[in-house]
Structure 1
């Protein structure tokens, strides 16, 4: 199959496929007499594998390690387990960060509960205050925690 067919079959952009080739995540495809790349079942499987790993938000360096294990299936899978545990830790850290962001946004939203002119908007006032380095509603918890730490 040609690159456009591989892209359609996997939902991966043409440039992304070329990038994965340059990064040696995909094996070099054969070339037809006219120079066009010819992809096979291995490319389809590998690209689907990479796409699935990316959907799990794995960085390319980790996917490269997983691909290396696929190429050498006799290796012990302890490192694969560790890799996934590290990914879980990254996701949990990001979730905690997102929860903190949600709390900040809710605090900011609570500073304006009615429709006003822009000059009377509590949200806008808080954002401008923060831009001036003043305490703001959305960072009150962060500010309190920093003061306690000092």
Structure 2
């Protein structure tokens, strides 16, 4: 289900990137996935609804990450591109490790804090995407 949702999201995202730009797609996907994740605990326990919401959240989050990777490649000149991508990917791995450590501590406070924390981080990243400079058709040095 998640794979099918991701294929659909990437197909629509590919068309939107050409129409709206990478920055807008990354920002909107981050904000939308944050909203979906914030709504997950308030959702009923119906299996179909939970699968649909989780699939949508993961699909939008992965599209946001792919758009950010593409922005990262466009943002840096060729001589710095490998180091920029390595730093970008290392930051993602460090975030995964930090989340793995922090998530159990948040679970001790209840079910809601982990969802709110993840949604807040995704929303901050989504809104932060709009602050990235536009480098479309500009020569980088």
Q: TM-score normalised by the shorter chain: which range applies?
A: 0.3 to 0.5
TM-score (norm. length: structure 2): 0.33
Question: Greater Rg, structure 1 or structure 2?
Answer: 1
Larger relative contact order (CA 8 Å, sep ≥ 6): 2
TM-score (norm. length: structure 1): 0.32
